[in-house]
């Protein structure tokens, strides 16, 4: 009994969560009593401290995310350091506890983010249901506003950003020839912050969801919104903390844990992509954390950081917010670029064209990415002189992005193309991202932006970049590494069906938005002028089809994971290190430390190798695991 109540796990979490919540509650009441503030019980500070800060800490403590550190500090024995009891998964139950194995964490990330992807997708269906006809049918006003606000917040903070972190978590240590990430316990903690953030954003519907958009502009979100606004503020903090910790972990892992011979110029481009992404995350994410703290202070404590009455500056919020949120667009793109380089090279059977320039263009995007934030604010009333320099840097960022697109095309040129599902998604990405990039150039041109900003043209552009771009690369990555993660092959026919449904549904849904946008239909409205009606009905119907395509994906993933054909170690005949071990890899990845001897993309050279494992192991590699 005692072991059940006090040992790390969900039973301990069940009492520690309310216990910590009560402590938070007590602290607020005590402070208010001491300060002589009345009434003692006020909704906002109580919910904030007790439910959004203290209770989640209790939950993390309960499941054991802090056990090793607290025991170490208290001088108690820490056996898990020696016996690796918290490492690796022997049964499905191990996926529901704090686990330090990067492969388990990677899968935890992906499954969690797909759950939030489904919730976010359903919210989008509700938005489209309302917009199918002019007038207000199902949701209007605040409810409608909160639907698209929570949709965007989930898709960005709980799906795209962490799904890439999940894929990289699984793949990067393997690609480097490392046994795990540099800080496995920190890695486990970063994952468990994520469901907390997601539940917080979804549960804001219970108390009155935030309807200020995912951008949460002040003073609308900081003073004119129901209490759900602080659920958004705090949700972003938890998700942001998770991002920062993971990025630090990637940086240290990539810098210090490369296998012998793995120089920076021999790293696969996926590793380069996650290295540069992590730089962006570590530098930029503290800015959104700051913006959300101050916005929350304005809401809960009635400070005036962003309200002019009292001396605040509303545009200050936007500058700080976009100083993170523009780099965040690249946080959502660069890992996908990495996946593209792997997939296109393997399925074209050719080396990545211009490898060094590909890596350097990633670095160029990191540097330029920090100098373009105010292009989200061309019509915000900011100082006029900022327009020209921000326009120039914005347009210039098309150059390194163009280099990547042309290099992928050149990689395919004269190759031997195999159109498996990951390659189909890669080609889908390439075509959609070109359209999204070109509409991005249009938006970068200030005179055009003045006309189409905050219209459906922007909605179309951002979905071409984030759905046609990021989500297609996530799908490509999931299909590509599915055999490695699960030890099973997915169903290729269903994979192709999923691709075509998604590709066609996506274009039918989002392309027409360009047209109604330039015609002047505003974004974030529940009703519109009658002459947009037929176009909107078309978009809504297409979007329901797009929504259904996800069912094919889910069915394929679930049945293949359970019943799929056993996967060989290297089904794609790829050269990078993760394919040199069994599928799924052994608990500590490599029985012998691999020796890296060449480029990861030496296709077309007979006998070329990226790395050598110990000779005695070599013959077993291609055997099917049984």
Tell which positions 429-448 bind another protein, by CB under 8 A. Answer: 430-431, 434-435, 438, 441-442, 445-448
Q: State the Cα–Cα distance between residues 336 and 341, nearest whole angstrom.
A: 9
Q: How many whole angstroms separate alpha carbon 177 and alpha carbon 174?
A: 5
Pick from 357, 386, 489, 494 the residue near another protein by CB under 8 A.
357
- Residue 123, preceding peptide bond in cis (omega within 30° of 0): no
Least Å distance, CB 508 to another protein, is: 14
Q: What minimum distance in Å lies between the beta carbon of 110 and another protein?
A: 28
> What is the rounded distance in angstroms from the CA atom of residue 325 to the CA atom of residue 318?
10
User: Does 129 engage in binding with another protein (CB under 8 A)?
Assistant: no
- Residue 319 CB, nearest approach to another protein (Å): 12
Does the footprint of another protein cover residue 379 (CB under 8 A)?
yes
Using rule CB under 8 A, residue 303 touches another protein: no
Token reading at 62: 């309960």
Task: Count CB atoms within 10 A of the CB of residue 93.
Answer: 8
User: What does the DSSP 8-state code read for residue 596?
Assistant: E
Query: Please, what sign has the CA dihedral across residues 426, 430, 431, 435?
Result: positive
- Using CB under 8 A, which of 199, 293, 519, 559 touches another protein? 519
Residue 17 interacting with another protein (CB under 8 A): no
Residue 142 C-beta: closest distance to another protein, Å = 4
How many CB atoms are located within 10 Å of the residue 547 CB? 17
Is position 406 an interface residue for another protein (rule: CB under 8 A)? yes
Q: 232 or 355, CB closer to another protein?
A: 355
Q: Note whether 285 binds another protein by CB under 8 A.
A: no
> According to the binding rule CB under 8 A, does residue 598 interact with another protein?
no
- List the interface residues with another protein, window 145-164 (CB under 8 A): 145
**Which residue's CB is nearer to another protein, number 237 or number 361?**
361
* Residue 516, CA distances (Å) to 113, 368, 538 in order: 31, 31, 12
Number of residues forming the site for another protein (CB under 8 A): 87
167 or 427: CB nearest another protein: 427
d(CA 82, CA 393): 52
Alpha-carbon distance 104 to 308, whole Å? Answer: 49
Please tell me whether residue 367 binds another protein under the rule CB under 8 A.
no
Half-sphere exposure of 22 (CA within 13 A, CB side): 5
Among 42, 78, 203, 518, binds another protein (CB under 8 A): 518
Q: How far is the CB of 457 from another protein (least distance, A)?
A: 10
Task: Note whether 455 binds another protein by CB under 8 A.
Answer: yes
Tell me if 147 sits within 8 A of 123, measured CB to CB: yes
Report 224-263 residues binding another protein (CB under 8 A): 224
Residue number with CB closer to another protein (96 or 413)? 413
Task: Tell whether residue 353 is a contact of another protein (CB under 8 A).
Answer: yes
Q: How many whole angstroms separate alpha carbon 509 and alpha carbon 131?
A: 13
Under rule CB under 8 A, residue 418 binds another protein: yes
Q: x/- contact string, 459-498, with another protein (CB under 8 A)? A: ----------------------------------------
Least Å distance, CB 115 to another protein, is 28
- Are 170 and 585 within 8 A, CB to CB? no
* Terminal Cα-to-Cα distance of the chain (whole angstroms): 39
User: Can residue 522 be called a binding residue for another protein (CB under 8 A)?
Assistant: yes
Calpha distance 209→291 (Å, rounded): 19
Quote the CA–CA distance of 501 and 573 in Å, as a whole number. 28
Q: How far is the CB of 450 from another protein (least distance, A)?
A: 5
Does position 525 interact with another protein (CB under 8 A)? The reply is yes
User: Among 471, 216, 163, 235, which Cα is nearest to 322's?
Assistant: 216
> How far is 81 from 73, CA to CA, in rounded Å?
14
Beta bridge partners of 338: none
List beta partners, residue 522: 455
Instruction: Kindly state whether residue 600 participates in binding another protein, applying the rule CB under 8 A.
Output: no
- Residue 398 engages another protein in binding (rule: CB under 8 A): yes
Compare residues 94 and 527 and give the one whose CB is closer to another protein. 527
Of 349, 493, 566, 625, the one binding another protein (CB under 8 A) is 349
Of 43, 414, 592, 623, which one interacts with another protein (CB under 8 A)?
414
Among 36, 75, 384, 607, binds another protein (CB under 8 A): 384
Tokens standing for residue 398: 């098309």
Query: Distance between CA 210 and CA 216 in Å, rounded?
Result: 8
């Amino acid at each position: 009994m005692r072991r059940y109540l006090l040992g790390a796990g969900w039973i301990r979490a069940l009492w520690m969560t309310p216990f910590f919540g009560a402590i938070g509650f007590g602290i607020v009441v005590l402070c208010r009593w001491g300060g002589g503030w009345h009434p003692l019980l006020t909704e906002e500070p109580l919910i904030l401290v007790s439910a959004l800060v203290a209770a989640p800490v209790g939950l993390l403590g309960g499941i054991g995310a802090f056990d090793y550190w607290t025991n170490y500090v208290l001088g108690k024995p820490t056996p898990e350091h020696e016996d690796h009891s918290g490492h690796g998964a022997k049964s499905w139950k191990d996926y529901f506890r704090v686990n330090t194995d990067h492969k388990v964490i990677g899968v935890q990330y992906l499954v969690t983010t797909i759950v939030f992807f489904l919730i976010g997708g359903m919210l989008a269906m509700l938005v489209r249901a309302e917009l199918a006809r002019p007038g207000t049918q199902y949701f209007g006003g605040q409810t409608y506003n909160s639907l698209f606000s929570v949709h965007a917040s989930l898709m960005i903070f709980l799906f795209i950003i962490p799904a890439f972190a999940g894929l990289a978590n699984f793949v990067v240590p393997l690609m480097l020839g490392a046994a795990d990430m540099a800080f496995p316990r920190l890695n486990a903690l970063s994952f468990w912050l994520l469901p907390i953030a997601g539940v917080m954003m979804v549960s804001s519907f219970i108390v009155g969801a935030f309807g200020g958009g995912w951008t949460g502009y002040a003073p609308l979100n900081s003073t004119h919104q129901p209490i759900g606004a602080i659920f958004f503020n705090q949700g972003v903090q938890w998700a942001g903390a998770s991002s920062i910790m993971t990025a630090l972990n990637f940086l240290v892992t990539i810098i210090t844990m490369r296998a012998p011979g793995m120089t920076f110029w021999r790293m696969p481009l996926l590793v380069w992509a996650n290295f540069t992404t992590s730089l962006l995350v570590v530098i930029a994410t503290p800015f959104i954390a700051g913006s959300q703290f101050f916005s929350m202070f304005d809401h809960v404590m009635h400070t005036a950081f962003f309200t002019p009455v009292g001396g605040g500056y509303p545009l200050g919020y936007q500058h700080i917010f976009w100083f993170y949120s523009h780099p965040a667009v690249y946080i959502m793109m660069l890992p996908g670029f990495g996946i593209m380089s792997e997939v296109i090279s393997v399925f074209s059977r050719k080396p990545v064209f211009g490898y060094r320039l590909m890596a350097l263009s990633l670095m160029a995007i990191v540097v330029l990415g920090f100098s373009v934030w105010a292009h989200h604010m061309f019509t915000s009333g900011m100082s006029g002189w900022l327009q020209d320099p921000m326009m120039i840097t914005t347009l210039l960022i098309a150059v390194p992005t163009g280099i990547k697109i042309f290099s992928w095309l050149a990689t395919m040129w004269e190759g031997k193309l195999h159109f498996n599902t990951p390659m189909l998604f890669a080609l889908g990405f390439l075509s959609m991202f070109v359209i999204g990039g070109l509409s991005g150039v249009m938006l970068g041109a200030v005179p055009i932006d003045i006309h189409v900003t905050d219209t459906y043209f922007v909605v179309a552009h951002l979905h071409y970049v984030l759905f046609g771009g990021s989500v297609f690369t996530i799908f490509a990555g999931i299909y590509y590494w599915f055999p490695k993660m699960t030890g099973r092959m997915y169903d290729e026919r269903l994979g192709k069906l999923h691709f075509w449904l998604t590709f066609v549904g996506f274009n039918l849904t989002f392309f027409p938005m360009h047209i109604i946008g330039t015609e002047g239909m505003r974004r974030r409205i529940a009703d519109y002028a009658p002459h947009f009606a037929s176009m909107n009905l078309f978009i809504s119907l297409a979007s329901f089809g797009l929504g259904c395509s996800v069912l094919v994906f889910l069915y394929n993933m679930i049945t293949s994971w359970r019943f799929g054909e056993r996967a060989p170690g290297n089904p794609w005949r790829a050269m990078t290190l993760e394919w040199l071990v069994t599928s799924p890899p052994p608990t500590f990845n490599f029985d012998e430390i691999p020796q890296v001897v060449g480029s990861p993309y030496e296709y077309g050279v007979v006998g070329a190798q990226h790395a050598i494992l110990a000779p005695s192991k070599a013959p077993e590699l291609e055997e099917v695991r049984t």
